[in-house]
């Protein structure tokens, strides 16, 4: 298993050259086709004072949106550079739906970490994770590169974490070092050790040597502990299952997925 095609979603209002550079480097690493994507949605009509229906989108407005998407495509191609196979896709569509639809043509989806404050112009990372059926590589805005030399697997014995480990195999095979870590309650230490050792044995059968580590949870979801340990040991990629609990509960009460999406300065590969 490898990645034959990567889809990177760029914000049409601000094409991140850092994001495209990371995606291009990953596509080179796996000799994969690089697909750029962006979308903008038409604002719906609204009712003024309960009587007058005002239509926001004119033909001129749509033409401007198409021109902006074309400009984003040109910036993507420029940032991706020459010497690699690239494709550009754009649509007048909700960005999140465009990514979910586009997932059918990609093995891995690359997005930039950030808030979705406008569903007509920005991607909702959480909804994309839940809806694409593909692993998502979430890249912090400040990240300029991804070597994935030391990969941390944030383990929890869930369906989502098992999916993430399998989805990350191409990265894990190329990594110089892999650490499988679980942060748990004190009374689960023995079970956690057994679990991470099983994961290490599974990876060994794929030719991947992995270290294991179990830490007592200090507070919250444990995401901060994993991030701190990864940074201390030069980890530059975190692998984690996403939304093992209901998404609404995660955002209201806290959870590993929410904390990684909002706090991690390290690239995260997440699967649901």
Q: Where are the domains of the chain?
A: 5-41+69-139, 150-271
What confidence score (pLDDT) does residue 122 get? 95
**Position of tokens 């998502």?**
136
What confidence score (pLDDT) does residue 253 get? 37
Residue 45, CB-side half-sphere exposure with 13 Å CA sphere: 8
Q: What is the CATH class of 5-41+69-139?
A: alpha beta
Regarding the domain delimited by 150-271, which CATH topology (the fold level of the hierarchy) does it fall under? Rossmann fold (3.40.50)
**234-257: per-residue pLDDT in tens?**
999 999 999 876 555 544 434 888
What's the burial of 130, exposed, middle or buried (CB within 10 Å: 0-12/13-18/19+)? middle
What confidence score (pLDDT) does residue 48 get? 59
What confidence score (pLDDT) does residue 238 get? 98
Alpha-carbon span 107 to 6, nearest angstrom? 6
What confidence score (pLDDT) does residue 49 get? 60
- Asked if residue 257 lies in contact with residue 250, where contact means CB atoms within 8 angstroms, the answer is yes
What confidence score (pLDDT) does residue 250 get? 47
**Residues of the chain where predicted confidence (pLDDT) is lower than 50:** 250-254
Q: Do domains 5-41+69-139 and 150-271 have the same CATH topology?
A: yes
What's the burial of 187, exposed, middle or buried (CB within 10 Å: 0-12/13-18/19+)? exposed
- Asked if residue 30 lies in contact with residue 170, where contact means CB atoms within 8 angstroms, the answer is yes
- Region for 133 from its dihedrals, namely left if φ exceeds 0, alpha if ψ lies in -120 to 50, beta otherwise: left
pTM of the model: 0.92
């Amino acid at each position: 298993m490898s990645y034959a095609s990567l889809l990177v979603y760029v914000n049409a209002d601000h094409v991140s050259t850092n994001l495209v550079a990371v995606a291009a480097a990953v596509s080179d690493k796996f000799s994969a086709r690089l697909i750029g994507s962006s979308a903008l949605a038409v604002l719906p009509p609204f009712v003024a004072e309960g009587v007058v229906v005002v239509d926001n989108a004119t033909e001129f407005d749509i033409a401007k949106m198409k021109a902006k998407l074309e400009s984003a495509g040109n910036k993507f191609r420029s940032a991706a550079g020459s010497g690699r196979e690239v494709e550009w896709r754009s649509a007048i569509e909700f960005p999140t739906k465009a990514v979910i639809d586009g997932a059918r043509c990609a093995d891995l989806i690359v997005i930039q970490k950030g808030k979705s404050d406008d569903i007509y112009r920005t991607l909702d990372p959480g909804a994309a994770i839940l809806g694409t059926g593909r692993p998502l590589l979430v890249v912090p805005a400040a990240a300029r590169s991804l070597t994935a030399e030391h990969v941390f697997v944030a383990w929890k014995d869930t369906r989502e974490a098992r999916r993430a480990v399998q989805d990350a195999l191409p990265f894990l095979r190329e990594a110089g070092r892999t650490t499988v870590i679980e942060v748990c309650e004190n009374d689960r230490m023995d079970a956690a050790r057994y679990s991470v050792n099983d994961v290490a044995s599974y990876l060994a059968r794929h030719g991947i040597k992995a270290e294991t580590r179990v830490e007592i949870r200090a507070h919250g979801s444990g995401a901060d502990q994993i991030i701190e340990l990864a940074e201390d040991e030069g980890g530059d990629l975190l692998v984690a299952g996403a939304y093992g609990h209901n998404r609404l509960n995660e955002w209201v009460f806290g959870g590993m997925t929410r904390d990684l999406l909002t706090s991690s300065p390290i690239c995260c590969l997440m699967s649901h």
